[in-house]
Amino acid sequence: MQAEKISISLSHSLLQFIETYKIAKGCKSPSQVIEVALELLRNQELESAYRQASSEVDSAWDVTVADGLTDETW
């Protein structure tokens, strides 16, 4: 994976948290801590999107599921 360098500004307390987390979890760099945080955020967003999608299930699907066919293989 090709990494790109960016510059961000964080509060002192967030920088302290990053350093503490890096040491506690054995991360190689502050960048790795940020990557972990962003993956968690991405997963949280995906989970929210899946939850919303599952609440929008089409009631016509129930008719299709109950069409008399079974999942058994011949």
pLDDT digits (tens, 9 = 90+) for 21-57: 999 999 999 999 999 999 999 999 999 988 888 777 6
Query: Cβ contacts of residue 28 below 8 Å, gap of 6+?
Result: 22
pLDDT digits (tens, 9 = 90+) for 16-30: 999 999 999 999 999
The answer to whether 11 touches 21, Cβ cutoff 8 Å, is no
Q: Pick from 32, 38, 3: which is nearest to 18 by CA?
A: 32
Torsion angle, CA of 63/64/66/71, rounded to 10 degrees? Answer: -170
Strand positions, DSSP E, 1-74: none
